[in-house]
Amino acid sequence: MNSSRPYILLLIALLVLSFGLAADLQPQFIAWPGSRADGDIFKITLGESRRLFANEFYTKADAYYHSGFYPTIFDNNDAFKTAHMAEDTGAVHSKNHGEEESFMGPPIDWIEAFGRHFFPDRHTHLDEGGPEDDLSSSDSIREILPWLKLSTELDPQNVQNYTVTAYWLRQRMNKTEEADQVLLEGLHENPGSCDILFELGRLYAESYHDTNRAENVWVAAAKNWKPITGDMDAVAANNFIYEKITTQLGQAERNASRWQSAVDWFEKAKSVSPTPDALQEQIDETKKKISTPSSDSTNSIH
């Protein structure tokens, strides 16, 4: 008759080995940079490579946004340098060039032409309707949110994760409070972020209709903004968000009949704008409203 004694002894040996390994590894885990204090398993296991995974999830969200019609690494990506789900928020500087429809180019033979009938073959955005069905509901937009959430957890310093998620939450799913929480979480991870503050101001102005609070947030964003030098795309993106912030403040001041303050903000926007003529028209129109030199002495926001 077989005895269970050997199995019990083996189980005890395995438990002793487990405790021994735990006792040996715990000091190493505590000493591991970025481990216990951060409580971030992705940071611990993946290190800086987690940002690559974050970008993949972000791109996956944009591919869902296009209902599967999306270029591969072998296609022409010029029209997809900036994610369209971000570009369509109106708060992100776009680096896209060329035709969105033609990234695959003409089929090289009849086999490829035939094969294209079996996957999405025209450009669309998820909130505008998919290739076959009506995908304009909030349930369709919901498809991109898990990917954005994963991207955020992997790379909490990518501010676009927060601004894009918040925009679609409030604009297409009517979840303003959830969008608010996403942006506040983003500010916690990225204190003073101009992009997040700009989007938070839009939320207060457009969803809560709290103009005063929105202006205060935009003023904070303007104060946190700093000019940069170096990479042209980075400079253009930095100037873009400052132009958006100051233009919003100029429009808010003009709506409140604070003409000189409006002019001041439009001038700041013009200083970084690639299209200064349009802003100059707003400046000229606003200046006509100034009746006396002292009209700007009391109600300015700075």
Q: What is the pLDDT of residues 95-149, one digit of tens each?
A: 544 555 555 555 556 555 545 444 444 445 545 444 444 434 455 567 778 888 8
pLDDT-flagged residues of the chain (< 50): 1, 34-37, 39, 44, 76, 96-97, 114, 116-123, 126, 128-137, 295-298
One-letter amino acid of 105: G
What's the pLDDT score for residue 295?
Answer: 45
266: burial class by Cβ within 10 Å (0-12, 13-18, 19+)? buried
Residue 61 and residue 147: Cα distance in Å, rounded?
A: 5
Q: In whole numbers, what is the pLDDT of the chain averaged over residues?
A: 76
First to last CA, the chain: 90
Percentage of the residues of the chain whose pLDDT score is greater than 70: 58
**What global pTM score does this model have?**
0.67
For residue 225, give Cα distances in angstroms to 202, 240, 246, 269.
17, 11, 11, 12
CA–CA gap between residue 68 and residue 78 (Å, rounded): 18
pLDDT of residue 93: 61
CA angle 56, 59, 61 (to 5 degrees): 115
Closest by CA position to 166, among listed 154, 150, 183: 183
| Predicted pLDDT at 99 | 56
125 contacts 141 by C-beta, under 8 angstroms = no
